[in-house]
Amino acid sequence: MYKLLLYGYGNPGRQDDGLGIALAEEIDAWAKDHFPGKVDVDTNYQLNIEDAEKISHYQKVIFADASQESIESFTFTPVVPSKETIEFTMHAMSPSYIVHLCRDLFQKQPDCFLLHIKGYEWEMKEGLSENANINLQSSLQVLKEKIETILIHTQNH
């Protein structure tokens, strides 16, 4: 059976750094109603080497994380395998490195994407900033449409 993994990561205790996890929680509730058994959701503070094994069981993987980069409200880009382990963020392992490990260790390479959601506040407290929440809602709508397209397309083939 075709399955998709949404993997949200970040630290909800650092305001907008929790965007990836907030998105994952929203998608989890939505997917259970709309696509039961076809969308798995996982969250963590950061990506780990063990995640290479996890993603090897999926055809598509969407990583979701907060971004401090100068983007509009969010970006959705393909993840290309890379031996580069460190991103210039709070997270030690990049999605590119996890995909690289998955390919090298398990001879599998799911289609992977990264959804970066623009954040603004990074202090040690819980709760998203108002602007980050607006970006979360915008990215949720687009991501739901992408997931529907992916899953409906795979049902028809």
Question: What confidence category does residue 157 fall into, taking pLDDT thresholds of 50, 70 and 90?
Answer: low
Q: 3-state DSSP call for residue 88?
A: coil
- Domain-wise residue ranges, the chain: 4-155
- 4-155 in CATH: which number? 3.40.50.1450
90 has a pLDDT exceeding 90: no
Q: 3-state DSSP call for residue 151?
A: helix
Residue partners of 140: CB distance under 8 A and separation at least 6? 23, 26, 27
pTM attached to this predicted model: 0.93
Average pLDDT over every residue of 19-32: 98
Based on the number of CB atoms within 10 Å of its own CB, is 38 exposed (0-12), middle (13-18) or buried (19 or more)?
Answer: middle
pLDDT, tens only, 38-82: 999 999 999 999 999 999 999 999 999 999 999 999 999 999 999
Output the average pLDDT for the chain. Answer: 93
pLDDT, tens only, 124-149: 999 999 999 999 999 999 999 999 99
**φ, ψ of residue 35 in degrees (nearest 5):** -140, 60
Write down the pLDDT at residue 89: 47
